[in-house]
Amino acid sequence: MDERQATTEFLLAQCRAYPALRPRDLLKALHQSVFGCGHFVTDEAEGLRLLLEELASLPAGAEGPGPELLDGPFCRLHLRGSGLAPRTLFRLFALSAEPPAGDAAALEEKLLCLLDLAREGRLPFSHEETARAVESWREAGFPACRHSPAFRRAYAPAYRVIRREYVRLLPLLAALDRLLAERERVTAALEGGSAAGKTTLAALLARIYPDCNVFHMDDFFLRPEQRTEARLADPGGNVDRERFLEEVLLPLSRGETVQYRPYNCHTQTLGGPAAMAPRVLNVVEGAYSTHPALAERYDLSAFLRVSPELQRARIRKRNDPAAQARFFNTWIPLEQRYFDATAAESRCDLIVEVEK
């Protein structure tokens, strides 16, 4: 589907979903589709306060629709029934406001679709009314606008605009929020194959939850002297899970400072000591993180599922030919053997589908 057809279908879907809407509401939807929400996030403390006020004003027990995809890289996350803690919801909103955003040229292309639909009589208001609204908005410089009074009366909109790439993470974030509300500390594992985005997701979680540690399974590869034939024949045996358990997971479970020496893949030796005090959220990322010898130490585990085609494309994009060969001929087969032998995917609490 090309962009023009996608915009046409989006506008018509908005009219079906919100029959009381006016031209201004479609202009708002297109503005959000291109520019997201950056114009609203200027003071995080004030933004969180406003969100808490809006949440408190919602009718008790009201359940809203699921995430509503817009015509671009953003979506509307309705506040009713989002499943997220307010601070988590606000952090997604704030992160979504970071550049890059769209530009006026992209918006103009979408407005052409809107005007064509109005001219063809496919909107619930006239071409003249639509054209006046577009021209007035254009002359003002395309400012952010509020929903029309008719829309607010009919639908009482309550949402925040976030990047659509975060939608697939909502079940994981909601599960983390539930655990964080119940426990003093939470330890979570991100399992999955090479190029599934485990490191990127762990870094994002550290931005969403400021009181967060991230530990990498890559820091616990076997040293050369440990790589015996028997050890490497063991599915998942190419990481030092015993050292990881003793130096990371057990201290975390006791609320003690974690002290370990990360493996340096260039020198193939252990580096200098690292010390990390336990935090409210402790994330472990990497293949082999949910090995059966480690799995019971986690409060939550998620498997990042990536298609072979996307995995190969990502590896080719970020590695030279020699490194690509190591991934394709050595690391990925080892990972797959471990996943198959230990049923890693089915043992995890959640599946996160990896998208382009």
Q: Which residue type occupies 49?
A: R
Buried b (16+ CB within 10 A) or exposed e, 156-170: ebbbbbbbbebbebb
- DSSP letters along 125-149, please? S-HHHHHHHHHHHHHTT----PPPH
Residue 99, both tokens: 């550049």
Residue whose structure tokens are 């959000």:
32
| Residues listed for the chain | 356
**Conformation bin of residue 195: beta by default, left when phi > 0, alpha when psi is -120 to 50:** left
Compute how many other C-beta atoms are within 10 angstroms of the C-beta atom of residue 53: 9
What is the pLDDT, as a whole number, of residue 140?
95
Q: Do 279 and 211 form a contact (C-beta atoms < 8 A)?
A: yes
pTM of the model: 0.93
Domains in the chain, please, with CATH? 3-166 (no CATH), 183-353 (3.40.50.300)
CA quadruple 219, 223, 224, 226: dihedral sign: negative
For the chain, which ranges sit under pLDDT 70? 1, 38-42, 61-62, 100-101
Encode 292-320 in three state secondary structure: CCCHHHCCEEEEEECCHHHHHHHHHHHCC
Smallest CA-to-CA distance from 90 within 134, 122, 49 is with 49
Q: 3-class SS at 19?
A: coil
Question: Within 13 A of 257's CA, how many CA atoms are on the CB side?
Answer: 6
> For residue 95, what pLDDT is reported?
92
d(CA 268, CA 240): 13
Q: What is the pLDDT of residue 39?
A: 55
Rounded Cα distance between 318 and 327, Å, is 12
Collapsing DSSP states into helix, strand and coil, what is residue 177? Answer: helix
Q: Report in angstroms the alpha-carbon separations of 7 from 29, 108, 118, 320.
A: 11, 12, 13, 39
CB-based contact 200:233 (threshold 8 Å): no
Compute φ and ψ for 103, nearest 5 degrees. Answer: -135, 170
Span 79-93, pLDDT tens digits:
988 899 999 999 999
- CA distances from residue 134 to 8, 29, 36, 167, 274 in whole angstroms, order as listed: 16, 13, 19, 31, 58
